[in-house]
Structure 1
Amino acid sequence: MEDDEWEPPKILLAVDLVILTLRETRLQVLLVKRGIEPYLGAYALPGGFLFDEHEDIEAAARRELSEEAGLADVHLEELGVYGEPGRDPRGRVVSVAYLAIAPSLPEPIAGTDAADACWMSVEDLLSGRVGLAFDHHRIIGDGIERARVKLEHTALATAFCGETFTISDLQQVYEAVWGVRLDPRNFYRKVKGARGFIIPVGSLQRPENGRPARLFKAGPVRVLHPPMARSTSVPPEAQVTREGGVRS
């Protein structure tokens, strides 16, 4: 083929957003219900095509997040690029996916081509009980794994606690994101072994029932040394109490 006969392939560029938060101690992801074809009525990640050839990719992601779910001021990081042939029935579409992990996000507001927007438990999604459009199961799975790794290596978990918190509060964050139950004694040792992760505040939380629990606040470090290596679930004979103790 002569050079003057060559034409660039017709490839569309899109963005998808994996927005994760904790709600009622459960890890949840933001989804929209599609109001247009393809996959009319199916749940999907917020996202869409770039407005034109002049729009920055991250700017497109923020625009779609605002238009489809009414959210703004969320820190985004690039998650990956997804471009397998056949992933979109409209043609060859390459999507740049972004990830955000943030506490206390508000209820989303659907807009533009989204019929609805909601938070959904990742437990329901990973179980396969909820079908998704396109290859969004895969993208969400990658986003969840990135979140789990971030909890191993950074102090992100403290952002999901209050200004002061107990070890049990912190453990609930790890259990929700990692999807396992943790042995409280092993968890306590790991937390205390991560230098500068948390700092005691010198007071106690006094529950109506049970023993008082020490209160902590986030420490100065952002990267954990040593990291909080992901653990296996708690032994069946042990039950985690509300105060972080163990009873057989």
Structure 2
Amino acid sequence: MISHNDFYDQNDKMYVATDCIIFGFDEGKLKLLIFKRRVEPRSGEWSLVGSFVKLEEDVAQAAKRVLAEITGLENVFMEQLRTYGAADRDPGYRCISIAQYSLIRIDDSDKHLVEKHGAHWYDIDQKPALVLDHDQMVADAMESLKRKARYQPIGFELLPEKFTIPQLQQLYEAIYQKELDARNFRKKVLSHNVLIKLDEKDKSSSRRGAFLYRFDHKTYQKLIKAGYNFEIS
């Protein structure tokens, strides 16, 4: 019989990493948080925010720690995307990476914080090439975000408490990375009955103004429990 220690010792070792794909919504655009890799190989090249998982850490805990250490951002809810395990994905050593992703609203304090730590927000359509398989991770996270957006009214926390339909459309266009027909979008989003129309108007973009709305969380939760799908596009 092989002893416990012998069984573990005779097998190959590898590292486990976690990479954080943090999308941000700012001024109507979708952005990606990246930094310049600080270790060899390929030090100085653009990278997702990531590092190794420590032995005593859960992967989710490691992702939060790594994000805070590299960018200063804390209390960011991340969702697991998938595991990347190609044998040659990291020329430094055999390593698998468990990717996590999130979509957050970028405020001025976030901008200053990440820049202070040496990280940067890039428009998603202007980002530089990333190291290793990080471009594939970003592409996969974008597809996951788009699928989720088709069936859930995601992103309302990225808007002000009171917002206009055009502002909401701008958010979905940023996620889908394409223009949406304004009339069809308005019709679909209002048909789900999760927006409460207010008596106030936003007149910042026109003299006539656009009515403000707010998200009805209670109705949304009831519909979700009933299995309702919120297809937007």
TM-score by length of 1: 0.81
| Distance change >3 Å, CA 208–CA 50, structure 1 → 2 | closer
For 2:180 and 2:211, how far apart are their aligned partners in 1? 19
State the 1:35 CA deviation. 2.2
Match of 1:99 in 2: 101
Match of 2:36 in 1: 33
State the 1:202 CA deviation. 2.1
List per-residue Cα deviations over 1:173-201 (Å, max 9, x = no partner).
Answer: 011111111111000111011132x1111
Structure 2 matches for 1:1-248, cutoff 5 A? 7-51=10-54, 53-105=55-107, 106-107=110-111, 108-109=114-115, 111=117, 116-125=118-127, 130-196=128-194, 198-207=195-204, 209-220=206-217, 221=220, 223=224, 225-230=228-233
Query: Given residue 193 of structure 2, which amino acid in structure 1 is its aligned partner?
Result: R
| Distance change >3 Å, CA 33–CA 167, structure 1 → 2 | same
Number of residue equivalences: 219
For 1:55 and 1:225, how far apart are their aligned partners in 2? 37
State the 1:98 CA deviation. 0.7
For 2:190 and 2:27, how far apart are their aligned partners in 1? 26
State the 1:154 CA deviation. 1.8
CA contact (8 A) 1:87 1:134 kept: yes
Query: Given residue 123 of structure 2, which amino acid in structure 1 is its aligned partner?
Result: S
Secondary structure of the residue aligned to 1:192 is helix
List per-residue Cα deviations over 1:48-84 (Å, max 9, x = no partner).
Answer: 1123x22221111111111111111101111111111
For 1:213 and 1:55, how far apart are their aligned partners in 2? 49
For 2:189 and 2:24, how far apart are their aligned partners in 1? 22
State the 1:216 CA deviation. 0.5
State the 1:110 CA deviation. 5.9
Query: Given residue 175 of structure 2, which amino acid in structure 1 is its aligned partner?
Result: V
Which protein has the bigger helix share? 2
For 2:204 and 2:37, how far apart are their aligned partners in 1? 45
CA contact (8 A) 2:36 2:45 kept: yes
For 2:166 and 2:149, how far apart are their aligned partners in 1? 16
Query: Which runs of no fewer than 5 residues in structure 2 stay unpaired?
Result: none
For 1:41 and 1:139, how far apart are their aligned partners in 2? 19
State the 1:225 CA deviation. 3.8
List per-residue Cα deviations over 1:202-240 (Å, max 9, x = no partner).
Answer: 22223463422111001121549442343xxxxxxxxxx
TM-score by length of 2: 0.86
CA contact (8 A) 2:46 2:129 kept: yes
Query: Given residue 134 of structure 1, which amino acid in structure 2 is its aligned partner?
Result: L
Match of 1:237 in 2: none
Query: Given residue 28 of structure 2, which amino acid in structure 1 is its aligned partner?
Result: T
Coordinate RMSD, CA, aligned: 2.1
Query: Given residue 32 of structure 1, which amino acid in structure 2 is its aligned partner?
Result: F
For 2:229 and 2:154, how far apart are their aligned partners in 1? 15
For 1:217 and 1:40, how far apart are their aligned partners in 2? 46
**Percent pairwise identity:** 30
CA contact (8 A) 2:198 2:212 kept: yes
Query: Given residue 103 of structure 2, which amino acid in structure 1 is its aligned partner?
Result: I
